[in-house]
Amino acid sequence: MKGGSGGNSAVQYTMKKLLITGFQPFGGETVNPALELVKQLAGKSINGYEVIAREIPVVRYEALDAVRAAVDEISPDAIIIVGQAGGRPDITVERIGINIDDFRIPDNKGNQPVDEPVAKDGPIAYWATLPIKKMVANMKAAGVSASVSNSAGTYVCNHLLYGVLHLLATAGKAHIPAGFVHIPYLPEQMAVRKGLESQYPTMGVETLVKGFTAMIEALD
């Protein structure tokens, strides 16, 4: 800290802020690994970022409203949205969000759009603006299985990924790196899937925390 007598002498060392969001349970599940994970990361300091977690409803438009409110409140320096992708074996960092809502099951308020745009006048797609390759490399180096995914699906997760990137692009905030990470089921979600272990690989919360810590180290 710089010296000086009085006035504006104290240098402020403010930490950068990472907004990390986790979805609520959906599709008949009682937990969502994304929410369990972000609860563990909340309040941690990683790579110069203060991690600020928020819970997001699995509801068309309301999910985006929740992130918009958090962005306005927090002014984050980076945004990572996390969702469950049951059946995927590893942590998958999404490359792209597409302008389509085509829900295979209703969301938590019964919305089930088919082949509708997320944003009527929006472009076809947005690239995620996180350093996706470096994030994957960091996780692998930490011994956690990870890969890039080229589709976040057409359900609420893609809706939110596209929606957030469109929001940032149209609000003059495209400089804020943002993107989406899908994670596998938790081991406890297999209680209702006995005998289906080979179809549904799982990952425990400690491994997820280790992976995400390495992932956040990849941010500038």
Q: Name the residues annotated as catalytic.
A: 94, 157, 182
Q: What is the bridge-based pairing of β-strands 49-56 and 146-149?
A: unpaired
> Does residue number 180 form part of the binding site for ligand PCA (CB under 6 A)?
no
> Does residue number 58 form part of the binding site for ligand PCA (CB under 6 A)?
yes
One residue of 37, 85, 93, 130 binding ligand PCA per CB under 6 A: 85
**Nearest CA among 94, 66, 86, 68 for reference residue 161:** 94
Min dist. Cβ of residue 220 to ligand PCA (A): 27
- CA–CA separation, 56 vs 67, rounded Å? 8
- Is the distance from CB of 34 to CB of 83 less than 8 angstroms? yes
> Does residue number 212 form part of the binding site for ligand PCA (CB under 6 A)?
no
Nearest-CB residue to ligand PCA? 157
Structure tokens at 64: 């985006």
> Does residue number 64 form part of the binding site for ligand PCA (CB under 6 A)?
no
- CA–CA separation, 186 vs 37, rounded Å? 10
Min dist. Cβ of residue 38 to ligand PCA (A): 11
Which residue lies nearer to ligand PCA by CB, 27 or 122? Answer: 27
> Does residue number 214 form part of the binding site for ligand PCA (CB under 6 A)?
no
- CA–CA separation, 35 vs 208, rounded Å? 12
**Nearest CA among 150, 140, 99, 135 for reference residue 120:** 99
> Does residue number 149 form part of the binding site for ligand PCA (CB under 6 A)?
no
Part in contact with ligand PCA (CB under 6 A); list of ranges 5-13, 80-88, 137-145, 208-216: 80-88
Site for ligand PCA in 10-39 (CB under 6 A): 23, 26, 32, 34
User: Total residues at the site for ligand PCA (CB under 6 A)?
Assistant: 12
- CA–CA separation, 109 vs 91, rounded Å? 27
One residue of 79, 157, 208, 218 binding ligand PCA per CB under 6 A: 157
Instruction: Give DSSP secondary structure letters for 45-63.
Output: EETTEEEEEEEE-SSTTHH
| Residues forming the site for ligand PCA (CB under 6 A) | 23, 26, 32, 34, 58, 83-85, 153, 155-157
